Amino acid sequence: MESPEAQTLGVGMVGYAFMGAAHSQGWRTAGRVFDLPCRPVMSAVCGRDPDAVRAAAAKHGWAAAETDWRALIARDDVRLVDVCTPGDSHAEIAIAALEAGKHVLCEKPLANSLAEAEAMAEAARQARERGQVAMVGFNYRRTPAIAHARRMVAEGRIGVLRHVRVTYLQDWLVDPEFPLVWRLRRELAGSGALGDLGAHIVDLAQYLAGERLIGVSALTETFVRERPLPAGAVAGLGAGPVSQGRGPVTVDDAALFTGRLESGALASFEASRFAAGRKNALRIELNGALGSLAFDLERLNELSFHDHTEPAADSGFRRILVTEPDHPYLEAWWPPGHALGYDHTFVHQARDMVLAIAAGTDPEPSFEDGLQVQRVLAAVEDSAEKNCVYTPVPA
């Protein structure tokens, strides 16, 4: 008979804000919906503020609270460490957890720098030899419609790929008086819209295409270069001078770049937190020799598909409602036509992590996949930094 430890998976999570709440929903729900080989147990959550982390534990269903992530990693009832902190601590926590013999799930982007991502991937390779697994949290892969689109592309439904175009637009920074939160400080976030939004769309483009980007050309811009410090912030935090309770924005507000995939297909990307009226607008379209596929995050349960082999008189984009029981992840949910939401992607992420651990297989996306995305982000920043703008000479 299996030991109780083999029948359960003790999870410890570092960070309890937005992503921590979303991950909590995943761990709390996965074992209640899917038939899993071992049941996730929410052993402990960690944060620096004792009162806040205890409140988060009570709210989200964690059995215990810690204020030191090292103490969380050392707990005997934690077999998996879930890293939901800002990017500046991803590498230190994830590597320490792997070296302590734990499985690791780490939020995207994998790290704040290419060097950190390489160190994390190497730690994951070494841990893999000991039977541990490490996965990066690109949750949009777990949208049933996206997973079904990947299946359709792999089956050749759109033929040889020609174009991929992706946009991810938000507007929460349009107000120039929005405070200088951690996402706007390079030393904490690594980059701005590029890492926050661009990491998602780079991963989705490569995932759906089934191939990697091999070259990019980029532009980035910071539209508002100084913002008020958050309430309670210490003057002087972050890089650069602080004047009258304000500090410098040290990351990009928007990134535009083009790319080429291994097959020669072309790709274009736009990530912005300055698109007024756009709250969380992610859209991806793939054009192939035999047809096209498109997904819009604001229509989460749908795909648009055009079959170019049909007679022109009858052809056009048609809607695929991805709610059938043989669509990815849908076998455990509701009857056809009953839509799922954003939070379900984290349930599916938890499910996939548990299955990989139980089977001893490499999870997807792995730390190697996260490293590949980090290489693209680094290449985009390098291209944008070196880009020269030429003014046409009048005839």
Confidence of residue 236 (pLDDT cuts 50, 70, 90): very low
The answer to whether the bond into 248 is cis (omega within 30° of 0) is no
Confidence of residue 231 (pLDDT cuts 50, 70, 90): confident
Residue position matching structure tokens 């302590």: 100
**DSSP character string of 166-211:** EEEE--TT-STTS---GGG-HHHHSSSHIIIIIHHHHHHHHHHHTS
pLDDT confidence of residue 393? 63
How far apart, in whole angstroms, are the C-alpha atoms of residue 326 and residue 113?
40
Task: Specify whether the backbone of 91 is left (phi greater than 0), alpha (psi in -120 to 50) or beta.
Answer: alpha
Number of helices (H) and strands (E) in the chain: give both, helices first. 12, 16
Identify the helix (H) or strand (E) that includes residue 233: none
By the 8 A CB rule, do 256 and 219 touch?
Answer: yes
pLDDT digits (tens, 9 = 90+) for 159-206: 999 999 999 999 999 999 999 999 999 999 999 999 999 999 999 999
Phi first, then psi: give them for residue 207, nearest 5 degrees.
-65, -50
User: Per-residue b/e over 12-50, b at no fewer than 16 CB within 10 Å?
Assistant: bbbbbeebbbbbbbbbbbbbeebebebebbbbbbbbeee
Confidence of residue 1 (pLDDT cuts 50, 70, 90): very low
How far apart, in whole angstroms, are the C-alpha atoms of residue 394 and residue 324?
60
CATH topology of domain 144-299+301-340: Dihydrodipicolinate Reductase; domain 2 (3.30.360)
Confidence of residue 16 (pLDDT cuts 50, 70, 90): very high
How far apart, in whole angstroms, are the C-alpha atoms of residue 385 and residue 390?
15
Pairing state between β 226-228 and 246-248 = antiparallel
Q: Which of 256, 329, 321, 316 is nearest to 295 (CA)?
A: 321
Confidence of residue 387 (pLDDT cuts 50, 70, 90): confident
pLDDT digits (tens, 9 = 90+) for 102-112: 999 999 999 99
Angle at 306 between CA 303 and CA 309, to 5 degrees: 150
Q: Tell me which amino acid residue 294 is.
A: A
Residue span(s) of the chain under CATH 3.30.360.10 come to 144-299+301-340
Pairing state between β 302-307 and 254-261 = unpaired
Q: Is the pLDDT of residue 390 over 90?
A: no
Q: Tell me which amino acid residue 376 is.
A: V
Q: Which of 31, 38, 33, 30 is nearest to 332 (CA)?
A: 33
Residue span(s) of the chain under CATH 3.40.50.720 come to 4-140
Please state which CATH number belongs to domain 4-140.
3.40.50.720
